Amino acid sequence: MSSKKIINNTDNKKNKKIVIIGGVAAGTSAASKAKRVDPTAQITILQEEPLVSYGACGMPYVIEGLIDSFEKLIERPADDFKKQYDIDVIVNTRAEKIDPLQQKVYAISLKSHKRISLEYDSLVIATGARPFVPPIRGIRLDGVVFLRNYGDGKKIKALIAKGIDSVVIVGAGLIGLEMAESFKKNDIDSVTIVEMADHVLPNILDNDLAKIMQKHLQDKGVKLRLGEKLVEILEEGNRKVRGIKTTKGSIESDLVLVGTGVIPNSEIARDAGIELGYANAIRVDEHMRTSTSNIFAAGDCATAKSYVTGKDTYLPLGTTANKQGRVAGENAAGGNAIFRGIAGSAISKSFDLYFGKTGLSFDEALKEGFEPTEETIESITRSGYYPDSKPIWIKIISDKKSNGRVLGSQIIGGEGVKGRIDLIALALLLKANIVDLANYDSCYVPPISPVWEPVNIAASQAIKMISKSISLHR
């Protein structure tokens, strides 16, 4: 990162003023941590939405009906921040400009249109991300929806309640597969996923494991249109959607959910002269500090360093946002915390299968200059004689050049995926060797594991693919 702009040191002031732009995961984590570090600080959160703290990842399960109301996703009402923690929250207010020299944030109320300004000693930008909106005809028609915030979720639920017979989901990523299950659980007869890549979950799974997921989706009644790109949203009349046109034809539909990824809300930082980095996210160091020394950034608007490659990357997930927010908040209050980075760990489920990834795929490892090898095994999640054992598939990528260093993993299974992905993510952080994964002392009990741990098996098989110079007793 280039040298940072020097701002007058205000750390020794009493009643330090900390402004946080954005709430939800990163912003509220930053505020809470900053208050614990400096109880005398005057902390203000500016939040564009009417809610400041809610579990956005739970929205597909409310839409499905598994959780009976969106209100259950609200983790903490705005008033509670003031009552319990002496943190001010201003909702329905959009931050429009940052002035780093005057150390002020300018904002506007979305209800009264009144303009305000807030002075700060330290600033945390936690503006999140927004859905990528394809620049195509019909994208703003009624019946075209996105799923990013609380309001989006309530809108989709209301549309389903009015009666929907068919849905097209554009994008076979995490949201696409989660929502395919949600729509089918709402008894919507026709659910079709359209994906421009040649397999589902292109950023999570390789083609071979994706085929397992694809068969599972089709068995559940989900139609797949792979290798097709969205060209146009078709209009029925009166600005209402009637379907989509792709590079391979058209599909009739009452509702179109566009899940083609997100882009960081980094413009307010860019316009203030703060450096952007990978994917136009706000570039931060290990302290979550931006190119301006008393301004921090965290969450879906900020970069994160991969502890596998050592390079900046962008992977907007709630886990990362919460961890980065804590670091940013502590340091905004005068601390010296460090964020150690990410491995790119992600997990979700669709119907009866969980799927997850951490680290690099084989192709990603090649591009990063490694000499990767991969091994995939199929195993079971419980002892074979124990009821309801489920299949699990594990792929492990390791590096020949570094004596078998573990580079990544992909796992699909009926259960037990998260714990194994987490284990391998830790192995990545510690730069563990494939021999370590083959020999770690795993637990065994028939209801939740076979006697031979599947990760041990996969790693042992991977060793055979690497140089014979690697010893099982390193």
What amino acid positions are annotated as catalytic residues?
57
Cα(250)–Cα(236) distance, integer angstroms: 13
Phi/psi at 303 (nearest 5 deg)?
Answer: -75, 165
261-291: buried (b, 16+ CB within 10 Å) or exposed (e) per residue? ebbbbbebbeebebbbbbbebbbbbebbbbb
The CA-based angle 153-155-158, given to 5 degrees, is 110
Token couple for 151: 């309001």
Cα(334)–Cα(362) distance, integer angstroms: 41
Cα–Cα distance, 423 to 246 (Å, whole number): 41
For residue 150, CA distances in Å to 51, 73, 221, 432 come to 8, 9, 28, 40
d(CA 192, CA 182) in angstroms, rounded, equals 13
Structure token pair of residue 411: 């796992």
Structure tokens at 140: 């703003």
**Closest alpha carbon to 90 in 16, 21, 18, 15:** 21
For 43, the enclosing helix (H) or strand (E) is: strand 42-46
Cα angle 314-317-320, degrees, rounded to a multiple of 5:
80
What's the first-to-final CA gap in the chain, in angstroms?
A: 38
Rounded Cα–Cα distance for residues 150 and 128 (Å): 14
- Minimal CA–CA distance to 146: which of 58, 71, 154? 154
Tokens 């319990």 -> residue:
84
CA distance 261 to 263: 7
CA dihedral angle for residue 75, residue 80, residue 85, residue 88, rounded to 10 degrees: 110
**Contacts (Cβ under 8 Å, ≥6 apart) of 222:** 180, 184, 191, 192, 193
Helix, strand, coil % (nearest 5) of the chain?
30, 30, 40
